[in-house]
Amino acid sequence: MSLWPYTVFLLLFILLTSSNANNEQRLHLKRLQRTHQSNSPSCYSQKSKSENGATILEMQHKDYCSGSVTNMNRNHQKQLIVDDDIRVRSIQASIKNIISGKIETLSQTKIPISSGVKLHSLNYIVTVTLGGRNTTVIVDTGSDLTWVQCQPCRLCYNQPEPLFNPSVSPTYHKVVCNSSVCQTATGNSGQCGNDLQDCNYVVSYGDGSYTRGELGQDHLVLGSTSVENFVFGCGRNNKGLFGLASGLMGLGRSDLSLISQTFETFGGVFSYCLPSAEAKSSGSLVLGGDSNTSIFNNSTPISYTRMLANPQLVTFYFLNLTGVTIGGVAIQDSGFGKSGMIIDSGTVITRLPPTIYKAVKAEFLKLFSGYPFKQGVSILDTCFDLSAYEEVNIPTVKMQFEGGGEMEVDVTGVLFIVKSDASQVCLALASLQYDDEIGIIGNYQQKNTRVIYDIKQSQVGFAKETCSF
């Protein structure tokens, strides 16, 4: 998972139009006047609905629930990118440990999914009901355990919502140590607490964040769909880059994830459309239903690629990247199709193997020429000063996958706006350190795309969609 503290910096109006046979996208730059905004209650009472048997939850950027929206200085923006880089490096280290055997144990619904900007992150949030109360959590396909901060809490970060109190939930009960549920979740014979009853858990994330507590079970409501005895983490000791969200929803592939726990209900199918980082933008998390369901608002047909099997890395969703086009020009590199890439809703910036990134960067610079260069920011090394321009034409970026799957990167996902006056923007792609590391497709490039995960059919689908709820 990738947790990246982030405060609104995108003060540009972005308008997408087509030109040059769809090989360019127009980015119209216009400053927006933003004023101080108080906490928005709607961020913590997001909408849900059911359509054609699907449960739909609204999604938003989590930073949009933090209150004030202010410009961020360059040093802070740089730190945000550094934090994301720390998280990705840790993923690579964890993957190597797992492969080498050094493993640490531990119906259909459509839900609104929202930008996390007000909760200080470029991650996305949904609101669910746990134990009878609404809870706002980060959506993460790279994690398995769903957890929330619980009281009494020994160490908790600040959150606008009240802490979850298991003692007042009539449907809550502990997961007993040495039970089959505890053993499945933590491995071996379970992690027993001091009273030899609690099933303890510890999850450490790549950016230094962590959550510790005991496992519990409670009644979970996703839109209009109820899930009985849902296993989750009751976090008593939590610290890190979670912004102001109350916890995290794990949509990974292990037995503990929400997708696995609800497999009989939703059939292992879910999808999302991640909105852009605009204050009132919202997308949707759809749980269940046919992967070709009519409830999507996609503007292009869904194209599919198979999930790669990786028994050593069961949490992640792997795809085979076979090509990239920039402005309609196919990038030539021998690295395509040789190893799987992770697609992740928690990582922000897409990471490419060095040789592929070098080729992509070179072609982008050929087509996006004539603009003054700017110093790079951390992992982002291809930067420009666009402050003198009203609008620019940006080459269309498309990613091709095995079997004909294709994802066109939305215009909002091609350039990363470092400064709100457009005096510093960067190509929103970065290079891994080494070619043998595993690439990651981040959420910044997935915006305004319907991404469909069908575990039963072992496939992932893509279609263009203007995210709205």
Per-residue pLDDT at 286:
93
CA distance 266 to 343: 21
At 173, the amino acid letter reads H
DSSP 104: -
| 15: pLDDT strictly greater than 60 | no
In a domain, 257, yes or no: yes
CA distance 302 to 409: 15
Per-residue pLDDT at 315:
86
Closest CA relative to residue 246, chosen from 143, 344, 165, 348 = 165
Greater model confidence, 355 or 289: 355
| 68: pLDDT strictly greater than 50 | no
In a domain, 199, yes or no: yes
CA dihedral 455, 178, 186, 240 (to 10 degrees): 120
What distance, in Å, lies between the first and last C-alpha atoms of the chain?
25
Pull the structure tokens for residue 252.
């990974």
Q: Which residue has the tokens 């510890």?
A: 202
φ, ψ dihedrals at 195, nearest 5° = -85, 5
Average pLDDT of every residue of the chain: 81
Is 454 one of the catalytic residues? no
Closest CA relative to residue 247, chosen from 153, 388, 361, 327 = 153
Strand order in the sheet with 373-374: 373-374, 383-384, 425-427, 415-417
CB 94 within 8 A of CB 206: yes
Q: Which residue has the tokens 């402050």?
A: 387
CA distance 135 to 140: 15
CATH number of the domain residue 290 falls in: 2.40.70.10
Per-residue pLDDT at 17:
38
Share of the chain above pLDDT 90, in %: 53
Longest dimension (CA), the chain: 68
**Exposure b/e, 107-118, CB count within 10 A at least 16 = b:** bbbbbbbbbbbb
Q: How confident is the model at residue 25 (pLDDT cuts 50, 70, 90)?
A: confident
Which whole-number Å values give the CA distances from 247 to 224, 431, 442, in the listed order?
Answer: 21, 30, 20
| 34: pLDDT strictly greater than 50 | no
In the predicted model, what is the mean pLDDT of residues 93-116? 58
Task: List residues bridging with 113 in a β-sheet.
Answer: 283
In a domain, 419, yes or no: yes
In a domain, 1, yes or no: no
In a domain, 161, yes or no: yes
Q: How confident is the model at residue 382 (pLDDT cuts 50, 70, 90)?
A: very high
| Total count of domains within the chain | 1
Q: How confident is the model at residue 307 (pLDDT cuts 50, 70, 90)?
A: very high
Q: Which of 140, 218, 410, 454 is catalytic?
A: 140
pLDDT digit string (tens) for 250-259? 999 988 999 9
Closest CA relative to residue 45, chosen from 111, 96, 105 = 111
| Prediction pTM value | 0.85
Q: Which of 198, 333, 344, 454 is catalytic?
A: 344
Per-residue pLDDT at 190:
53
| 86: pLDDT strictly greater than 80 | no
Show Cβ contacts of residue 96 under 8 Å, excluding neighbours closer than 6 positions. Answer: none
In a domain, 4, yes or no: no
In the predicted model, what is the mean pLDDT of residues 52-60? 82
Per-residue pLDDT at 383:
96
In a domain, 469, yes or no: no
| Domain that residue 108 falls in | 18-464
In the predicted model, what is the mean pLDDT of residues 139-149? 93
CA distance 251 to 257: 6
Q: How confident is the model at residue 83 (pLDDT cuts 50, 70, 90)?
A: low
At 8, the amino acid letter reads V
Is 140 one of the catalytic residues? yes
| 178: pLDDT strictly greater than 70 | yes
| 295: pLDDT strictly greater than 90 | no
CB 63 within 8 A of CB 7: yes
CA distance 145 to 253: 10
Show Cβ contacts of residue 57 under 8 Å, excluding neighbours closer than 6 positions. Answer: 46, 48, 109, 110, 111, 112, 113, 126, 127, 128, 222, 223, 284, 285, 287
In a domain, 411, yes or no: yes
From the centroid of its chain, how far is CA 88? Answer: 13
Q: Is 365 left (phi over 0), alpha (psi -120 to 50) or beta?
A: alpha
CA distance 269 to 291: 7
| 75: pLDDT strictly greater than 60 | no
Q: How confident is the model at residue 420 (pLDDT cuts 50, 70, 90)?
A: confident
CA distance 434 to 64: 35
In the predicted model, what is the mean pLDDT of residues 198-208? 82
Q: How confident is the model at residue 231 (pLDDT cuts 50, 70, 90)?
A: very high
CA distance 156 to 180: 29
* Other beta carbons within 10 Å of 95: 17
Q: Is 53 left (phi over 0), alpha (psi -120 to 50) or beta?
A: left
| 303: pLDDT strictly greater than 60 | yes
Q: How confident is the model at residue 118 (pLDDT cuts 50, 70, 90)?
A: very low
| 394: pLDDT strictly greater than 60 | yes
Per-residue pLDDT at 107:
52
